[in-house]
Every structure is written in structure tokens, then in C-alpha cells.
Structure 1
Amino acid sequence: MYQTIVIGGGPSGLMAAISASEQGGRVLLIDKKDQLGRKLQISGGGRCNVTNRLPYEEIIKHIPGNGKFLYSAFNTFDNESIISYFEGKGVKLKEEDNGRMFPVSNNAKDVVQTLLSHLRDNQVDIKTNLKVNQLVMEAGRITGVETDRGTFVCRSVIIATGGKSVPQTGSTGDGYEFAMQAGHTITDLFPTEVPITSNEPFIRSKVLQGLSLQNVALSVLRKNGKPAITHQMDMLFTHFGISGPAALRCSQFVYKEQQRQKKQAIQMTIDCFPDESLHALTQRVTKILKDNPDKAIKNSLRGLVHERFLLFLLERTGIDETTNYHHLKREDLTTFLNSLKQFTLTVNGTLPIDKAFVTGGGVSIKEIQPATMQSKLHDNLFFCGEVLDIHGYTGGYNITSALVTGYVAGLNAQKAAL
């Protein structure tokens, strides 16, 4: 007999098992893979972005998928708690751009080993290479879990199985099946933090493949042409569409606009000079051209934007790159300048969920107690991490959500079981 069984050995499951074991009693952690903490080990490019030090309000803004649900949990365990936890265990952290927190060693293994050592110190039973097939329910109450190697009996269960993104880490959607078995609703699942696809001729021809644009404003447009979201970051043209930080952050809004507009094709725009008005840009470019009236336009404007993009926009506008200011038509210059401020492209979706960094959708938060992570349908069932319908941008926000909800779920599941 265990007090609590945690299904899933990702960041939320590890923290849930630790938190539960701190209350006393027997805790069992089950994972179907042979190695715990796989997702943590590859996060942040192998450096592990453990959390973010921004204030609550900023963290919530960076978790557009139901981030407000976390406010109650933050009262128990928050981003500063995460920092204190790891530093208290000897893992010194450093703050980088935009509040991102990394181990000073730049090694994710230090983070994973700290969690595993804590589990061992607290005598948590760990079973890897073990697949949970279903929850065991008797008279509507959960009494344990059925696995490939028999049934384990417990007083409470925590589902921490992750989403369906990065499936090589073990996140293949098992938890959704367990949740539905217990009567829970699963909201639509979709990829987030994922490259965006496009069938534009210039994408198919690969003329811009590999081209990176720095500090541009990338927008997803609503049906009325106004931005649903804008992210000012770097982006990259690929052979199938666009990628890079700005595109990844916009990806979930491409999906949402497709649902709202009930059509596949969605418009996006790129503003190469987000901090400069069209009027100011027009004056600046016109002065450059007037000061060099005999030079070819491609030479006069060298350095304005990346040369490949400059030549592409000139050709798209119908301007011969060897044309000088004397022979430049005013309407062509206006069109060119407009394309620098509002280059429009049609996109048709994103890469699939198994190529995404984060899963959108999951167990409906309407059916979860925000202060405890307890199911509203079963008083001994708890959820944490990406299996829930909570998703954020990259930058430490998803791991923060996972560790916070994991800690709170473990604390309250074990209290309920003792």
C-alpha cells in the first residue's frame, strides 16, 4: 500500500514525488522510460532553463494558455521558491536575458541529479521501464494503478505524464486516457512553440531559406486585418515556412485564428522596422537615395536590411536592383517601403504536435482545484504539468508551471492520503 503514486518522471512528476515524500508515508514514482527527467535534461539546449525571475504578472503574461490559473498555486510555491530550492541543494543559478534562470554550470544534468538525489534521500520508490495501462477504480473511487507488472494499490494518484510534444521523452498522451477514464474533459490538443508552415511561392522556391531577420515584429492577423498577436524578436525563413523565436511564439495564435476564422489560410505580417514609423522610414530612405542619386539602389540601400531580403523585396516590387534614384518611380518606392513595414505572407498551419516544444490543450482546468491541483471529480486524483490545459512560451515559463503545479499536487495528494 502506497499513500501516493505519481505517474510520470518529467519535471512535474519529479517535483510532485519529492513534495509528497516530504509529508511522510510511502510514495511510488512510475515512468515508462528507462531514465527520469529526460525533458529537463534537453531543455534550454542542454542547459536547463529552470524558471524565470520576472514578477508574477509578467510570468502569467508569458503563459497565454490559462496562466491565470496558477495564481493560487503561486501562494504555496512560486518561481522564487524554485530558485531557493535548487540553490539550497547546492545548484547555483544565474540570471540571463528576460529573467531566464540557468545553473551556473550550464549543465542540465546538475538539475536532474539534484532532484533524483532528493528522491533517493526521501526513500521514494522508483520504478522505470514500467507502463501504466489504466487507473484501478472501485465503486467510482480510484484505488491504484494497473501496470504491465501488476497492480499497485494507493490512496491517491498524481497524473504527471506530460503532453504529446517531444514524444522521445515519453510524452505520448497517456495521461489524457487516464483522465478520460476518470471522467475528465480533454480540451483540443494542438502544437505550440512550433515552426509555422506556408505554401507561398517564395517559400516553395526556397529563395529565402536560411535567412534570419533580427528584431522584427511578426504578427498574426485577425479576419479584420488587425493583429491578434505581435512578437518583436528574431525570425528565420525555412524551406517549409518560418521559424525562430518570433514564429514559435506566434504559432499557437495561428492555430487559434484558424479555429476562429474557420479556414486554413491565415495572414501574417513582418515589420522590419518596428521601432520606426513608416513616415520616419520613408524620410530616412529617401534621404539616402537622394544623397546617392547615381548609385544603383541595391548599393545605396546596402545594410538597410539583410542583402538577400533587400534584393528579394526589390524584385517583388518590380524595381530593377541596378536602377538609381533618377529612374526610380515614386509609386514603386512607396510599395517597397510599405513592404519593409508590412510584408504580408499567407500561412496554412504549423508543423505537427510531435515537432512542437509544448502541447496546447489538455485536462480542462475547469475540473481542477487551482489551490491544490485536486480533481473536482475525485478527491484522491491530482494533476500537474503539461497534461493540464496550461501552456506558455519558452523562456522558463513551462518548467515554472510544471514545478509549481508538481509541488502543489504532491503536497496536497499526500496530505489527502495520510
Structure 2
Amino acid sequence: MRAAIIGGSLSGCMAAILLGRAGHDVTVYERSKSGLVGRGGGLTTSRKVLDEMKSRDLIDAEFPASPFDILRMCKRTDDEPYLGVNPLSAAIDMHCVHWGGLWRNLVKRVPSERYKRGRTLAAAQDLGNSIKLVFEDGGVEDAELVLFCDGYNSMGRLLLFPEVEPGYRGYLVWRGILPDCEVADHAPLADHPRYSYVSIKGSFVSFVIPSIEGSTVPGERTINWAAYIPADAGDLDHFLIDRHGTRRNGTVPSGEMRDDLDDELKALMARELPDYYADILAKSTGNQIQLIYTSELPGYGKGRMGLCGDAGMVVQPMTGAGVFKGLSNAADLVDALAGHADVPTAVADWSRRQTAVARRMLALGNQMEDAFIWNTIDLAGATAEACRAWWSRSITIPGEFSYFADIDDVVLT
């Protein structure tokens, strides 16, 4: 079967590898003319997901990650201005990886002649027995299956479900990175904290990732941080107008943020966060802004076309489910194609299964959003017992894609 994959990032590479090994004739079309390059940032997933990727030889057996087994819920206080107080901790099985390192590991398993760079899709037409693909360079291709792996702003999602528009969730994430060699005290970096703020809604997280070369040695790693900050829909121009005066659509990438906005947010976080993390933010440059949206879809495919990874349902990034989405969508599609005689029937069955799992992800995201953005208990003033009760009623743990452990693994500190 001729399969076309639109987008050559993480999910696109996973799908290409697995479909190719299943005997399908796979071609990846990536719009970037050069190799995809991250800016040194990382992503979070679970050990279970990484182990599954290793067992399928999607990544090297020794692929590096920075593991964390405790989430520390913290808040700055007048008595503890350096790191704040930590009244509640929860067991996690979170592994943090370098985005660029992960992509390199995946793409080297895609035959170079099957990975077409500089090909931007302009249109897709369902001809019944095949899909006609028209590219911006004038080229035309034909495929029996088209899998859109083209990210949050997916053309495929718009094509298949034009009636669904992502909904803004009322907050943004301001992200940055810093080489850990620029921090004198490395001890706090062994933790994965989530800080609630002193006087506003929202929260802040931090974790370290290996270097692009795979080093996990202190002094050679990268600190990743993310500040979730409420922003009214009417005020978004203030956050989305870049350093050139252009209003961006949802994201202001690294290097394009206005200096005055970056300084404003650093001053805000200096008041809301412990000194240790405020200093990390103060040293970080090239930061970026992303508005948080979600969308619920009626399905993951129609006919001979499907959605994979971030091209599917848009869920809150704090779930850490991005790698799982790409892996499970691709692996399940291979199984569905093997179990059905024709592509449309396979896609329909696969779509039902992916939709059910994605709705569970979205439900987890909504719970995390409520607990960590809008209705966090006062971590500085509540008793330990009250903190545990709040946690127990706030989060329902879905084990297959979450890095959280069982709800009983809550530690009062």
C-alpha cells in the first residue's frame, strides 16, 4: 500500500518507520528544506513510553533521558524565599529528553530516499480508491493512505473537520531554557517542582534534559522551564505582537519576543517565584510565548485520511502525552491495517479507538488545568492533610499515557 505522511517531525518519523517495517510503501513529505532543528528544548514522557520505543527499535537502547520520580508541589513564602515550602509530593515516572536528540534518533531510521524535504502540501483530494496530493511546488502525488502528522496547526485536521476550532483556555505558557553550567547550585535541579504563585493564578515547572550529544553530567545539561500565566482573550495582542510589530498567531517563537514583554514577565516572576528560579529566568534569553488551546474532535480519520500525534486532538501540553500520542496512533494504525481487508474500514476502526483514548487525555488535561492553574490549594497555608485531600479529589490517574503513579503514592512533606 502506498502511504503518504505529511510532516516529518516526531510522529511522522514514528509512523514512517512502523508502516515501512509492516511492508507498506511509505513516503514522508516535510515542508522544511533542511533538517528540523529544535532550539535546545526538551519534552516529557514516561519511562513506559520510552521503553516501548526502545523495544520497537524506534530509538537506541541507550537513548539518554533525565528521570524524575517525585513531583514536588511548592510555593514561595517570606520564611523560605530561596526554594519555598514543599508540603506535598507525588510519585511520578517522568523521563525528560532532548527534542533534537529524539528527532535525530528517529529520523536516522527513516530511509533518506523516503524523506522528502521542502515539500509543502497545498491540497488533498479524495478520489475514492486513492488520494491526490497537490504540493505548492506544483508536484502531484498519489497515495492509498494519507496520514497527517503536521502538528498543532494541522492542515489535515482543518480538511477533515473544518467545523472544529481550537478553543483558547484563558492562559499562556512562557518558556525558556538555560545551560545548567550557568547555575552555581545544582542540588535543586535533581527535583521536578511545580510552583504555585504568591498572588496570581497559574503555576511554574522546571526540569533538566540531557545535552544534544546525550550527556547527563551536571554542567552539560539544559534547564527547561515553563511559566503558565493567565491572560484574558482581550489582552492577547500585548503578548502576541513580536519584536517587529507583527501579531503572531498563537505562538511567538524563540528570538521573536519583544524585550519589553520578556522583561515584564521576568519582573512578574521575580515577585511570584522563589529566588533560585527567578534567577534562572533572569538569565534565560530567547524565550517564547505559546497560547494554550484545546480541541475535541469527532474522529481521527475519514476514508483514506487520518490524523496522528499533535495533528489530532489538541490537549494541554502539561499532560506530557505528546510522545505517547504519536507512538500509539502510529502503532495502532499498523495493527488496524493488518486486521482489515481495505483501508477505509481499517481507518474507521482505528479512528474510533484513537478518539476514545484522546478524550481521556483531554479529560486529564482539564483536571490538571483546574488543579494547577485555576484552583490550586494554598500550599503555604494548608495543612498536610488538606493538601492530600485536595490532590486526591483533583487528579484521576490514567496509567497508560500519564507519567503520574498511583494516587496512593502521595507523600506529605
| TM-score tier (shorter) | 0.3 to 0.5
Between structures 1 and 2, the one with greater helix share: 1
Between structures 1 and 2, the one with greater strand share: 2
TM-score by length of 1: 0.46
TM-score by length of 2: 0.47
Instruction: Tell me which structure has the larger Cα radius of gyration.
Output: 1
